[in-house]
Amino acid sequence: MLLTVLTRTGINQQDADLLRRIQKKDRQALGMLYDRYSPVVYPLALRIVGSTEEAEDVLKEAFTHIWDKAGGYVAARGSIFSWIIAVCRNKAIDKLRLKREKQKPKEGERGSPRSVPERGADTGAQQILAFKGYTESVRASLKTLSKLEERILEMSYYDSHSQSDIARTLRMPLSSVKSKLRRGIQKLRQAARKEGESA
Amino acid sequence: MKTEERHSYLELCIPYVFGRLNPGNRKQFEAHLATGCDPCTKELAELHEAMALMPLLLKQQAPPSAVRDRVLTKTPTGRVEQPTVTRKPSEAQEKERERAPVARSPQRWYGYALAILSILIIIVLALFVSDLSNTIGGQERRVVELQGELQRKDEVLSVLRSERLEVVLLNGLEPNPAARGKIVWDPVKKIAILQFVNLAITPANKEYQIWMIKTGRSTSAGTFTVMNEKEKESFFKVMNLGVGEKQEIDGFSVTLEPKGGSAQPTGAAYLRGK
C-alpha cells in the first residue's frame, strides 16, 4: 500500500510530526508541509478547476483547512499524504461545482478550454524526491488501465461527473460505466498494493 | 449489525470518496464511521490511498512562490517561515546604484542580444511543443471517442445477435409529429436499442424520458438527451430495459421532463407506440 511506502521512506512519520506541530499552531511546520506537497496538489487543483488563479485559491483554502483542522486527521483512514490529497480535491471540487452552478452552459455549447497540466515526467518538486521512483513505478503499473477506464476514472475524480452523466457523455450504458469505474479503481488499488509489497 | 446493513455501508465507500453522497447519506455514513466499523474504515483507507495515486500521474508543478506567502499569511497566528530572504536594498545602496555609470561596452550589447535571441527561440519552441501536445491531446480524446463508439456498436451487435428480439415502433405525437422511433430489445438479457429520428433537440434543463405503460400505469425506463442536429437526424442508445416479453406491457411513450427525470409523466408526450 501507499502507506507502506510512505512509512518505509519515513515520510509518514515526518508528516505526523509536522501535523502535531501544526496543531500547536507552528506556522513553520505548515510551511514545510506546503513545500513538500504543493508540487503535487497544485497540478491536481489546476486539473480540476482549470485556471491558475482558482488553483491558487484552492491551495490557500486547503492549507487553511489543514491549519484549522489538523486534529481532524484520522490515521486509520489512510496516510497523511492521502488526507492532504483528499482535502485539496474536495476544496477544488467545491469550487468547480460552484462555478458550474454559476455558468451553466447553454444546450450544445461547449465550455471554454481549461488549462490542464500535462501528464509526464516530473519537473522540480525537489521536496518530494522520495516519491519520484514510486511515481514512475505507479505509472508503469497503471498501464493496465484501458483508455476508457482511464477516461471514466478521470471524469469521476477530476471532473466530479456522476456515473449517469458519464454514461450520457460517452453514450454508454450506465451498467458499463459502473463496471469500468469499479475495474479502474480495482487496478489502482492493485497498483497501490503491488508497490507496497515490492517496497 | 446485520451483514446486509454492513454491506450497504461498504457500498457507500466509493461515492463517499468521490464526494457524491447527498448531505443526508454523507452524515449517516460519517456517523457510521464514527462507530469504528473496521471493514468500512479499512475499505475507506484503501480507497483513499488508491485515489491518491491519481495526482501522482500528473506532471508535478510547483505553484508560484507568491502563493506560499499568501497561504502562510492567511493562517491567523504563528511565525512565518520565508523560503528565501530577499532583503530590500538600503537607501545608500539605491543611491549608489543610481550613481553607477550607465555606459555599456559593445560586448555587453552582444550579451543582451544573445539573451533576447535565446528567449525568442525558447518562446518559439514552447509554442511548438504546446501545439504538438494539443494535437496529441486531441488525438487521445478521439481514440477514447472511437473506443466508446466501438463499444456501443459491439453492444448493438450483441443485442441484434440474440435469438429472440422484441420490437415496438413509436409514432410522433402533436409537439413533434415528424418524429419516429423504434425500441428493439432482448427479452432475456433485457437490453434494448433505442433508435429515434427527427426528434427535436432537447431544450436546456430538460430530458426525454421513456415510459413503459402497463395497465394504464407508467414506469420510467430511463432518460436521454438529443444533443445536436446530427442526433436529431438519427439518435440511438443502448440501455438496460426492465421488461422481458412484449406481452408484459401495453406500450411505450416518450415525454419531455425536467432534467433528471420525473417519477411520473408530467410533460408533453412526443412519441407513443405498442
Q: Residue A3 is inside which H or E element, if any?
A: helix A2-8
User: Looking at chain A, which residue has its C-alpha nearest residue B47?
Assistant: A189
CA distance A10 to chain B (A): 17
Mean pLDDT (whole number) for A122-126: 41
User: Looking at chain A, which residue has its C-alpha nearest residue B225?
Assistant: A168
- Do B172 and B268 fall within a single domain? yes
- What pLDDT, on a 0 to 100 scale, did the predictor assign at position A123? 38
- What pLDDT, on a 0 to 100 scale, did the predictor assign at position B215? 87
Alpha helices in B35-74 (DSSP H): 38-51, 65-74
User: Looking at chain A, which residue has its C-alpha nearest residue B133?
Assistant: A118
- Asked whether the beta carbons of A86 and A45 are under 8 A apart, the reply is no
How would you classify the pairing of strands B217-224 and B269-273?
Answer: unpaired
In CATH terms, is domain A1-103 a member of 1.10.1740.10? Answer: yes
- What pLDDT, on a 0 to 100 scale, did the predictor assign at position A63? 94
User: Looking at chain A, which residue has its C-alpha nearest residue B153?
Assistant: A172
Domain locations in chain A as residue ranges = 1-103, 128-199
- What pLDDT, on a 0 to 100 scale, did the predictor assign at position B251? 92
Across the interface, do B147 and A146 touch by the CB < 8 Å criterion?
Answer: yes
- Do B269 and B175 fall within a single domain? yes
- Do B157 and B170 fall within a single domain? no
The pLDDT tens digits of the residues spanning B220-231 come to 888 888 988 888
* Chain centroid to CA B227: 16
Residue among B41, B75, B143 minimizing CB distance to A147? B143
Assess if residue B91 is contained within a domain: no
The pLDDT tens digits of the residues spanning A21-72 come to 999 999 899 999 998 889 889 999 999 999 999 999 999 999 999 999 998 8
Among the ranges given (A73-82, B73-82, B91-100, B253-262), the one the predictor scored with the smallest mean pLDDT: B91-100
Assess if residue B105 is contained within a domain: no
Q: Which grid coordinates belong to A144? A: 493496465
Average of per-residue pLDDT values in chain B: 80
CA distance A43 to chain B (A): 6
When scoring A37, A57, A103, A107 by the number of chain B Cβ atoms within 10 A, the one with the most, hence best to mutate, is: A107
DSSP string for B9-40: HHHTHHHHHTT-S-HHHHHHHHHHHHTT-HHH
pLDDT exceeds 60 at position B51 = yes
Assess if residue B102 is contained within a domain: no
Across the interface, do B148 and A93 touch by the CB < 8 Å criterion?
Answer: no
The pLDDT tens digits of the residues spanning B168-204 come to 999 999 888 999 999 998 888 888 888 899 999 998 8
Would an 8 Å CB–CB cutoff place B84 in contact with chain A?
no
Q: Which grid coordinates belong to A182? A: 469499479
- What pLDDT, on a 0 to 100 scale, did the predictor assign at position B95? 44
Across the interface, do B68 and A31 touch by the CB < 8 Å criterion?
Answer: yes
Strands of B180-186's sheet in order across: B217-224, B206-214, B251-258, B269-273, B166-172, B180-186, B191-197, B235-240
Q: Which residue has the higher pLDDT, A142 or A19?
A: A19
The pLDDT tens digits of the residues spanning B201-215 come to 998 888 899 999 988
- Asked whether the beta carbons of A117 and B59 are under 8 A apart, the reply is yes
Across the interface, do A85 and B20 touch by the CB < 8 Å criterion?
Answer: no
Chain A residues lying within 8 Å of B83, measured CB to CB:
31, 35
* Chain centroid to CA A9: 20
Q: Pseudo-torsion of CA B63, B68, B69, B73, nearest 10°? A: 130
Across the interface, do B191 and A122 touch by the CB < 8 Å criterion?
Answer: no
User: Looking at chain A, which residue has its C-alpha nearest residue B227?
Assistant: A108
> What's the angle, vertex CA A75, arms to CA A73 and CA A81, rounded to 5?
75
- What pLDDT, on a 0 to 100 scale, did the predictor assign at position A196? 55
Residue among A55, A77, A124 minimizing CB distance to B60? A124
3-class state of residue A178 by DSSP: helix
Rama region for B265: left / alpha / beta (φ>0; ψ in -120 to 50; rest) = beta
Across the interface, do B67 and A67 touch by the CB < 8 Å criterion?
Answer: no
- Asked whether the beta carbons of A85 and B51 are under 8 A apart, the reply is yes
- Do B119 and B27 fall within a single domain? no
Average of per-residue pLDDT values in chain A: 80
Nearest to A93 by CA among A141, A132, A54, A130: A54
Would an 8 Å CB–CB cutoff place B150 in contact with chain A?
no
Q: Mention every residue, 6+ apart, whose C-beta is less than 8 A from residue B152.
A: A171, A172, B238
The pLDDT tens digits of the residues spanning B133-165 come to 777 767 776 777 777 777 777 777 877 888 888
Number of other CB atoms surrounding residue A103 within 10 Å: 9
CA distance B199 to chain A (A): 15
- Do B155 and B177 fall within a single domain? no
pLDDT exceeds 60 at position A140 = yes
Nearest to A68 by CA among A15, A12, A35, A19: A19
Which 217-236 residues of chain B touch chain A by CB within 8 A?
224-225, 227-228
- Do B185 and B251 fall within a single domain? yes
The CATH number of residue B33's host domain is 1.10.10.1320
Residue B205: give the domain boundaries: 166-273
Q: How confident is the model at residue A85 (pLDDT cuts 50, 70, 90)?
A: very high
Q: Which residue has the cell 469550487?
A: A95
- What pLDDT, on a 0 to 100 scale, did the predictor assign at position A121? 43
User: Looking at chain B, which residue has its C-alpha nearest residue A161?
Assistant: B20
CA distance B54 to B261: 33
- Asked whether the beta carbons of A41 and A88 are under 8 A apart, the reply is yes
Q: What is the ipTM of this complex?
A: 0.79
Counting the structural domains of chain B, the total is: 3
Assess if residue B98 is contained within a domain: no
pLDDT exceeds 60 at position B130 = yes
Q: Would the CA dihedral through B58, B62, B67, B73 be positive or negative?
A: positive
Percentage of chain B beyond pLDDT 90 is 16
pTM, rounded to two decimals = 0.55
- Do B18 and B63 fall within a single domain? yes
CATH number, domain A128-199: 1.10.10.10
